[in-house]
Structures are given as structure tokens and as C-alpha cells.
Structure 1
Amino acid sequence: MKPTLAETWTGKWDKAAQRDVYPFNFVPYEDAKRVMEEVIPQFDADRESFTRGFATAATPYEAAGDAAAASGDGAAARDAYLKAYGLYRMARFPCMNTDGKKQAYRHSQRCALKAWGYADIPPVRVEMPFAGRAGEGNAVVAYFRAPKTGKAPVLIAWAGIDTFKEDSLLRTQKFLDAGMALLLIDMPGTGDSPVLGSVDAERQWDAVFDWIEAQPGLDASRVGGWGGSFGGYWATKVAHTHAKRFRAVISQGGGAHLVFTGAEIERSQSNGLPWGQSESRANAFGLKTHEEWKAFAPGLSLLDLGVLDRPCTSLLCVNGVRDPITPIADYHLVLEHGSPKEARFVANGGHMGRPLDGSPDPTESIMLDWMSRKLGVA
């Protein structure tokens, strides 16, 4: 049974909003609390009230950012734009399955790029040509950031069902600081990805590698990948399907086989969000309902597809032992098949390895150090 919005707020979101952490990064707590108190009584009858509430709260911050930018106050502009981005991001959360959420996503994109335009190395939007099939897009859209000196190794980063490339600008900053160029993309079926999720949607990574190889300032022999949450599924997959093109890959919080079975689908549904974990996952694959997802999901198993027994590049699996969304047993299965791999499991960690007690997240430094060594920037 899916949790209610009230249960989600009191059970975990209120604390997350107070701490300025996922999914409330950059969202002022007073705004989060006010919007949630207004939306909770009407949410069951009007799901779009959530989107409208957060989008309405975002509007004055973007206006304040524009005014500050016009007056030359870059610091104030960036701060206001980040707040607008955070609120618009919540408005489109968890996925773009309504017109209102699609519109909110475009607003969040605009505000994110306005804010990060004040960074020392602003992100550049690039479109990498993609030879898609009928009905698919013709480009993989990415945000590109590169160190100012030297031929840099590259980290391709993507996230999951509810976290898009704009949201990766913050979490990848330390990798840029360490000397890696960044290409931030959306996993299949989310954001600006040219393809829906499918049994062969890893095709979109071909376009990314082709683009990297055409850039004289990038070292195509040192390319890493990092996928989080459902993006961890794609990370594990491309570590095998693109083993010769990746130097190393991090799969964080991703599933492989068990996560697609009936029992685990039901477990994650009860531990997910009011919108439904299954419904959000289904949306990335062009589906809608819990029942449709249960019928479709088993076909994604990396074990049944034979992927796990193929040669694999260096792969680090990271997650929490107590993950309520993705069973840690899936990573045990990954380790038991094919090429030897590495793993780091957080004993008191939940999804993605984030400590359930609110203590500092150890996974960030673990992953940064590991990837730095693999790409030769340590």
C-alpha cells in the first residue's frame, strides 16, 4: 500500500527539508512547510495541487533573481535562482507524467542554468547526435563542464527516476574539482533523454562516447560512469555492454534482477512515495500503472538477459544494507556473476547508502576516491 502524502511529510520529508537534502535541495524550509500544509488536505482529490503549490512558491524567487542579476548582484541572483530551481524541481517531482509537471521541469531547467551560470565553470548545454528509431529523439542532451587546463578524463553521470541532469550539477561538483570533465545526462525515459526505457535503451550511451571521441580536449581512453538509484541499473548494464569504452563505472543503489520480481515490486511500492514507486518507474518506460509495471519489469532482469555473465569493466557497487527500494541482494547477485567486481555496502544505510540515522554520508568520499584512482587523477 502506498504511503499518504501526510505520512511521507511527517515520516521523512519534514526532516529532509529542514536539513536541505534530497529531495528538498535549495528549498527554503518555510516554503516547503507552508506548501505541504496547504497541499496535504487536498492532495488525494487533486494531485496537481502539489505541482501548483510548489510552482507558485518558485515564481517570486525567479523574479528576485532576475532583479538581482539586472542590478549586478551575482551572489543574490544565484541564491534566488537556486531557490526557484529547488521549488520548481519539487513541482515536477517525482516524474513528468502530467502537463503541469512537464512545464515545471522546463522552469526548473531554466532556473538551474541561470544559477549555475555564476559558477567558475558554468555548464554548457550540448546536443550529441543520436541515430534513433522512429519516434525517438535525435540527440542526447547533456550539460558539459571541463577543467580549464589539460586533456581531461571524463565522468558521464546520470541519476534515476526522479533525479535529472540539472540535479546532478551539485552532486558532481567535487568530481570536477578533482580534475574530471563532466557530462551530465538523463537516464532513458527521463528528462531530455531521446529514448524511453527498454531492453536496449543503453543505445543512447553510444552517442555520448562518439561525441567524447570527437573532442580534442577530452581523453576518450579515461571515461568513467556513475549512475544512481534506477540509474544504477543502467550503470551496471553499460559496465557490461560498453565494457571496452568505460574505464570504470559506479552503480549506486541500482537493481539487477530481484528488484523486478513481484515481491520486491510490492515491497518498494509500500516504501516509496504517494505517487507510487511502480507508477513512477513505469512512466520511464512508456507505461502507467502498477499492474503494467509488474508485467513488464521481469524482462529487464540483467541475469535473465545474460548481461551479468558478460565481460565487465571495473565496477563499484554502492548501496545501503537496509535499502527499502532496491534489495541489497541484487548487488550480491551482481558480485556472484561474471568478472570480479568491487562493492561498498553501508551497514546502517538506506537507499543509495544514505545513513538512516542522518549521520554524514560516507558514500560521497568513497566514490570520489575510487573514481579518481581509476581515471588517474588521484
Structure 2
Amino acid sequence: MAPWILGDKFNTVYPHKGSIKALWETKWKFPCQKSVYPFHDGMYEDFEPIFQKLIAENINDAFTDAYTNAFLPTVRALENEAAEAMSAGKKDRASDLYRRAAVVLRISRFPYVSPSTKPETSIKRAAFERQKHLYLKAASLWSPPIKEVVIPHARRAGKDGAQIPLYVRLPEEASAQNKVPVVLLMTGLDGYRPDNSQRTHEIIGRGWATVVCEIPGTADSPADPADPESPDRLWSSVLEYMAQQPEFDMTRVAAWGLSAGGFYAIRAACTHRDRLAGSVAHGPGSHYFLDSEWLSRVNDHEYPFTLTPCLAEKFGYADVADFEKNAQKKFSLVETGVVDQPNCRLLMLNGVNDGVVPIEDSMVLFSHGGPKEGRFFNGLVHMGYPDSLPVAYKWLEDVLSPNASELKN
């Protein structure tokens, strides 16, 4: 495939690799101070002492129990303070503290939680379970609240699980008499249902509902990660559930796939084109992200930790070498012909300098299937943050509420 559009950076080992000190000082400290990804909803004051401890104790491997354990005393302190605030009737303060504790747990269980793990044997799974618990304590106090709904996987087959857990948030004005548009958020490799507060705030602020669902091979998803067609069954079950909700206007449903979820947003734009008004593939893979040459260097790029073992397990492979050799032929949306079908409106967003998913994965789609839309950001990395977010919201407004007055982000 070389030369890649990423250019010389393709063969570069990024400076934060292998060192928690370098990761914190060169990559993570600034977004933590600004409370942006992956520290969105969080507070710098919660994280700075944790990372100083990790640095002092030379804990550099995020896959170890020692890494996760370093975060837990801060979680306990925030949780205790939140409980005291609730007892004192200070619900807003309690909600903020529970939210902050959930964010600390998010970083503690980075970079990946497998659906096959159990809390009693996996510290990251235990941290994720606790994150969900505290996050829902916070979100249940919001107006309107976020609620967890567990639905049957009506279209399950093969090795799919029986239930699909969702987070659902409805604007207060939604009713059977006032149906509202819906955004189906498809989460990513490391960001799950409790990691999308700001998006739900923005969506609710536009008068839309949101349903948040995890993608195959991650967190609580019941979809068989090794079956390329399991996402089709997953979205069919979710959309059929949505169609039964009296508040949802099923003529105005858009998907929004985030990072690894962008792959599924592209697929759904084809396989479920008659049920979706539009789909946003944000930082998406489609074909080249599974190329063995790309995978041979992706661990050296901008992702904070080693990526290929997580991707291998996410796609149902027990062996990284097997994944790198065979996944493209099995899962590529180009190789399998998925993107040669017609599609609903589909917007692709990414940074041109993405070292996690090559920008080629968005560009190749313009040569397949129906017309596509795209906006790519020069000089920006994976997801094209922050410039891509206003574009996503404006496009969704055009699709879901074309006659509404424009909102400012």
C-alpha cells in the first residue's frame, strides 16, 4: 500500500510510546487540563496526583493490575464525598462527584474491556462495572436523566448473546403526540456507554432522543465478535426496539459511529439504509485499517497504548498474528462488497494525519456504492477533533431537523 498519506509519520515511533511519564507530559496532560477526550467530564485535580504516582512507581504498562489499582483510591474518595453530598441534600454536587469518579474509572480500565471478561477475574472489567454504577448514579440526577434499558436480542443467531444493554435519553418534550428524532450512538474500542455525556447533552439540546449501544467485541455487546454479520443482527434488534417506543420518530433516525464505531456506521448505512435517514462515520475504518502493513506500525502511532491485541480480541481472534494476516479479507467492507450496495446519506469525518485509522479508509469509499459525503481535516489526527464536531452537529441538523433554527456549539 505504501506510500501512505500519513507519509513519514507512518514509520515514526511517536514520543509518548512506552513511558507513562512521556504519555502524561507530551500527550495527556493538556487534554486533561481542558477536560477533553479521553478526560471529558473529568477534572485535572483528580488525575494529576494519580499520574505522578504512576510515574514515581515506574508503572508504564496500562494492561497491568498495578496501573488500574493506582486510580482506585481517588475513586473511593470521590464516591464517599458524593454519598455525603447526597445525604446533605446536595444532589447537584453529588452528581458532579459521581460523574468525576466514573471518569477516573474510565481511564483506569483503558484501553479495552472485552465482553468475555468477568469482574471476579479481570480488574478492568470490575472497574468498568463500577464505572457504569457510578455514572448512572450521576446521570439519574440530570434533567432529563439517562436510563439503562436492557432489551432482548430478538434477531440473535449463532453465538450472539440474549440481551442488549442500552442507555436511553429522551428530551422532556418527547411524547406519543410529539415524536422526536433519534440519534443512535455506536461506541468505540475504548469509549463505551458511560463515556458520551457531552454528546447526549448536545443531542438533547436539539430536541432529539439518543440511544447508546456498544459495538461488537467490546464492553457489554452481545454480538458475536467473530461473525462479520453479527452487527447487522444487532442493529436490527435495536431499531426494532426503537420502533416500539411511542416517543421516537422512526422516519428521522441517524446513526453516529465513533472511532471503531465508524466502521459500523458505514456498514449500517448500507445494510440498514431503509431505516436510517443518515449515518455519520467519525474516524472510521473500512478496509486499509486491517491491512497487515498498516497493522505492523499502528502500535507506534498516536494511540496511547498497544492497540493490536485489543483489535484482535475485538474482532474475535485469539492470536494477533492470525488477526493481522486474515482480518482484512474477512471483515473489510470493501473486500466483502458491503459498500458496493446503495447507502443512505453517509458523512465521513476524520483527521488527515490519523495514525490509528488511515484516511485512505474514508477516501476509498467514494469509489464504491452510492454517493457519500466527507470532510477531512488537514494536520489533525484521529477523529479530527476539535474541528470535526461542529461539522457533525450541523450535518445531523440538516438530516434530522432541516427546518429548525441553527444552534451554536
TM-score by length of 1: 0.93
Paired residue for 1:327?
Answer: 358
Percent identical residues: 30
Q: Does 1:70 pair with 2:87?
A: yes
Query: CA contact under 8 A between 2:204 and 2:210: conserved in structure 1?
Result: yes
* Structure 1, 166-175 or 205-214: larger mean CA deviation: 166-175
Which of 204, 222, 235 matches 2:234?
Answer: 204
Amino acid at match of 1:319: N
Task: Return the letter of the residue paired with 2:90.
Answer: D
Does the C-alpha gap of structure 1 residues 153 and 83 become closer, same or farther in structure 2, counting only changes over 3 Å? same
Aligned pairs, number: 372
**2:35 pairs with 1:23:** no
SS in 2 for 1:172: helix
Q: What do the CA deviations read for 1:258-296 (whole angstroms, capped 9, x no partner)?
A: 111012112321115464111121222233553232134
Q: Structure 2 stretches of 5 or more lacking a match? A: 1-12, 405-409
Question: Secondary structure of 2:41's match?
Answer: coil
The answer (yes or no) to whether the contact 2:187–2:212 under 8 Å persists in 1 is no
Q: Does 1:120 pair with 2:143?
A: yes
* 1:54 and 1:88 in contact (8 A); partners too: yes
Which whole-Å CA distance do the structure 1 matches of 2:103 and 2:145 have between them? 18
Q: How far, CA to CA, are the matches of 1:212 and 1:272 in structure 2?
A: 37
CA distance in structure 1 between the aligned counterparts of 2:360 and 2:335, rounded to whole angstroms: 16
State the alpha-carbon separation in 2 of the partners of residues 19 and 289 from structure 1.
38
The alignment status of 1:170 with 2:198, answered yes or no, reads yes
Q: Cα deviation per residue 1:6-33 (whole Å; 9 max; x = unaligned)?
A: 3322321122222211112233323322
Determine the C-alpha separation between the residues in 1 that align with 2:59 and 2:363: 43
Aligned-partner residue type, residue 17 of structure 1: C
For 2:199, the aligned partner's letter is R
Contact 2:62-2:68 at 8 Å conserved across structures: no
- Matching residue within 51, 56, 59 for 1:36: 51
Of 143, 156, 160, which aligns to 2:167?
A: 143
Paired position in structure 2 for 1:13:
28
Q: Given the superposition, is the C-alpha separation of residues 228 and 34 from structure 1 closer, same or farther in structure 2, using an over 3 Å criterion?
A: same
- 2:153 aligns with one of 115, 130, 143: 130
Structure 1 residue 235: Cα displacement: 0.6
Distance of aligned partners of 1:46 and 1:261 in 2 relative to their CA distance in 1, 3 Å threshold: closer
- SS of 1:11's partner is helix
**Of 363, 373, 376, which residue of structure 1 is paired with 2:398?**
373
CA 1:12/1:70 → structure 2, altered by over 3 Å: closer, same or farther? same
Amino acid at match of 1:154: V
**TM-score, scaled relative to structure 2:** 0.86
Secondary structure at 2:172's aligned position in 1? coil
- Which consecutive segments of 4 or more residues in structure 1 shift more than 6 A? none
305-314 or 47-56: bigger deviation: 47-56
In the alignment, the residues of structure 1 paired with residue 247 and residue 341 of structure 2 have an alpha-carbon distance, to the nearest angstrom, of 32
Specify which of 176, 182, 194 is matched with residue 154 of structure 1: 182
